[in-house]
Each structure stands twice: as C-alpha cells, then as structure tokens.
Amino acid sequence: MGWLQGDVVLVTGGGSGLGRALVQRFLDEGAAVGILERDEAKVAQLKKDFGDKVCAVAGDVTSYRDNEMAVRATVECFGKLDTFVANAGIFDFFAGLAQLDAEQLGPAFDELFAINVKAGLLGAKAALPELLKSRGSMIFTVSNAGFYPGGGGPIYTASKHALVGVIRQLAHELAPNVRVNGVAPGGMVTQLSGLAATGTAHQQLDQIDHLDAILRDITPLRVSPEPRDYCGPFVLLASRENAATITGVVINTDGGLGVRGIMKVNGGDELQPA
C-alpha cells in the first residue's frame, strides 16, 4: 500500500521528463492523477499508457481558464483534489546577460516568467478551492538555480529564486488549511525546452553533448540522476501522514551542490571551481 492511497494529485507539464516520472510515481503510490499538458500528442500517449487512472487534458499553463479546466476535469473524474503540483517549466540554456541581445531581454524574461512563475500562481489559484475542502497541499518544482548561481542564465535563475518566495508567501497565507512546499532538483537529461524569444524553443536539454558526464562532474555525489530519482520528496510532501508538520519548505535534491556550489564552465570546455 502506497503513501498516497486514495489521494488525487494534479500535475502540470506531466507529459514528459520529471512531470511524466511524477505521474508514474504518484500512481505507484496509490493516487489518481490529473494532468495539464500543452502537447496534445503527449496527452494522447498518457491516456493510452495509463487509461482511467489519469485524467489528462491539453491546455496552456499560462491561462487561468485552462488551469481551472484541469482542476474541474480532475475533480469530475476522481471526486476531489488533494495535491496540486506546479511542475511545468522552460529553460534559458545558460544565456548570460552579455549574450542576450537588448531586444531579446524583455521578451525572453516575459516568456520564461510566464511559465516558470505566473503559471504556478494561476494553477495554485485554480486549485485552491478544492484544496481548502480537502485540507490538501501544493508542491512547486524549483531547481538548484533557486539557491545557487550557475544553474542557468540570469532569467532562469531569477525565476527559480522567485518561486522560493512564492512558496514561502503562500505557506504563510494558506496555513493552517493548505500546506505549500517545493522540491529543488539538480540537473537531469530531459526534453526541457528553451524560449521562442531567443530562438531556442526547439532546443532540449537532452541535446547537450556529454550532459551526463557534466552532471556527474559538478555534483559531490557524482550522480547524473534520471527524472524518477527526484520523485521521492514529492511523495513525501504530498503525504499527510508523513509531512503533516511541513510547510514553507524547499527540499534540495541536487546531489550535494549546497556543500560545494556549482562548477562554472570556462570557455565552454573546462570545468573550474566557481
């Protein structure tokens, strides 16, 4: 019997990468899962793979109406909502301030913050009425970039630092009725994509050469985790029995970066201490 037996979880960006791994893990723990995913092909694949154990809908996480639709569909399918997971995100592919053209900076900021920060707030707002009924929880996917430089460029890093503030503020506002926490994974090889504003919308993390080796080299634990390796803390935070006293917390699952910091790429080739 799993830690989430009988619970209902809604995950944004659940069609691939960490989101897809979370769907699988929540199901393994006994939960039913709603999913908001922008790619209709991935929605169809989720339905094919998991059948009536999931309620997957296609929509835009930056639209309040689509978030509301996902909540409504999940509750219609499964009767309630216990946990909302704001997981959808995009990446700036380490584009530094000097690399960004002046005319790109504003649009890139708006595009990335719309998905990495605003969408989480919209989803939280849409889910809140149901979470108040169930005395449930919210979990935000942060990143090592929410705590240290070097995990992305300045726009991505700013967005993840902002999410830490969102988590703490919402935990303060919504206590004692709804717990609000986050998980800050380290790097992983996924299909995380870039920005239309910088011409990297079709670029993915898994296209970076030798990313596995780079991830092992920069972490004290010498690991290159798969998405499924990061799912445990999400299960913990969703569990009423095991996390009843936890709110306003972000669990770092970054391979030990906090004890050393991220290594910096020098000239695109060598890894040197930051």
Query: How many other C-beta atoms are found inside a 10 Å radius of the C-beta of residue 52?
Result: 9
CA distances from 52 to 34, 177, 257 (A): 10, 30, 39
Give which of 61, 76, 57 is closest to 8, Cα–Cα: 76
Cα separation of 239 and 82, whole Å?
A: 9
Active site residue 156: yes
β-pair partners for 252:
184
Give the confidence band of 269 by pLDDT, cuts at 50, 70, 90.
very low
CATH number belonging to the domain at 8-272, selected among 3.40.50.10860, 3.40.50.720, 3.40.50.620, 1.10.3720.10: 3.40.50.720
- Candidates 64, 148, 156, 230; catalytic one: 156
261 compared with 50, residue with greater pLDDT: 50
Give the confidence band of 136 by pLDDT, cuts at 50, 70, 90.
very high
- In our burial notation (b when 16+ CB lie closer than 10 A, e otherwise), range 232-271 reads ebbbbbbbbeebeebbbbbbbbbbebeeebbbeeeeeeee
Q: What is the pLDDT of residue 274?
A: 39
β-pair partners for 93:
none
pLDDT tens per residue across span 94-128: 899 999 999 999 999 999 999 999 999 999 999 99
pLDDT tens per residue across span 20-48: 999 999 999 999 999 999 999 999 999 99
Contact 180, 171 (CB under 8 A): yes
One-letter amino acid at 154 equals: P
Task: Determine the average pLDDT of the residues in 66-76.
Answer: 98
Query: How many other C-beta atoms are found inside a 10 Å radius of the C-beta of residue 34?
Result: 29
Per-domain boundaries in the chain: 8-272
pLDDT tens per residue across span 142-178: 999 999 998 899 999 999 999 999 999 999 999 999 9
**pLDDT of 261 strictly over 70:** no
Query: How many other C-beta atoms are found inside a 10 Å radius of the C-beta of residue 152?
Result: 21
pTM of the model: 0.92
